[in-house]
């Protein structure tokens, strides 16, 4: 083999070796500086979400607008749905106004929750829930009772606190609305 060919092969081999050495070093540096996502205690977050949902029930029972306001997001684009066809509120202010009107109209409110399911995303920043509610009391002085109302929603963790960002209440119909 010619001397120039041997020098070329050696130089090329050295270049390839250096390339791989630098590539491995960069990969190791990247791995060292890569941020590790914090470990989220999902059970603790689930318990914190449950506390907010319990506060929602408590605020509704005792008609505590201050507590209600504390656990709700005050977003202009949040959407909440109630059981009546007209009960669709976009934004905190219209929703708050409706709740204030409801609180003024209701008395002796009792609410029990069953079959509550809470899920927390692995990030620990978003949660959703579903539950059945049995409600009774008086509305404008007349007794009412709702059994098996369906209640679902979404919460976000903002600045370390869980807030309800969306809720949906519905009352099931007997039988199927559409047969299939």
Q: Is 84 helix (H, G, I), strand (E, B) or coil?
A: coil
Torsion angle of alpha carbons 172, 176, 177, 179, nearest 10°?
160
Q: What is the pLDDT of residue 176?
A: 78
Backbone angles phi, psi at 85, to 5 degrees: -55, -30
Asked if pLDDT for residue 133 goes beyond 70, the answer is yes
What class has domain 42-170? Answer: alpha beta
pLDDT digits (tens, 9 = 90+) for 16-43: 554 655 565 655 565 565 666 678 899 9
pLDDT digits (tens, 9 = 90+) for 70-106: 999 999 999 999 988 899 999 999 999 999 999 999 9
DSSP single-letter state for residue 88: E
The domain spans of the chain are: 1-36, 42-170
Query: What's the rounded Cα separation, in Å, for the pair 180 and 170?
Result: 21
């Amino acid at each position: 083999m010619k001397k120039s060919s041997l020098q070329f092969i050696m130089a090329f081999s050295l270049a390839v070796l250096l390339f791989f050495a630098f590539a491995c070093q960069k990969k190791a540096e990247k791995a060292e500086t890569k941020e590790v996502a914090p470990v989220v205690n999902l059970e603790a977050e689930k318990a914190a979400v449950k506390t907010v949902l319990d506060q929602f029930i408590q605020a509704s029972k005792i008609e505590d607008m201050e507590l209600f306001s504390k656990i709700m997001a005050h977003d202009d684009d949040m959407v909440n749905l109630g059981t009546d066809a007209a009960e669709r509120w976009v934004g905190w202010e219209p929703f708050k106004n409706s709740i204030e009107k409801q609180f003024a109209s209701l008395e002796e409110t009792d609410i029990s929750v069953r079959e509550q399911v809470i899920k927390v995303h692995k990030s620990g920043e978003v949660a959703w829930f579903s539950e059945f509610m049995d409600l009774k009391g008086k509305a404008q002085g007349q007794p009412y009772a709702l059994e098996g109302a369906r209640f679902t929603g979404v919460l976000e963790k903002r600045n370390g606190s869980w807030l309800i960002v969306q809720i949906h209440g519905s009352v099931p119909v007997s039988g199927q609305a559409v047969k299939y």
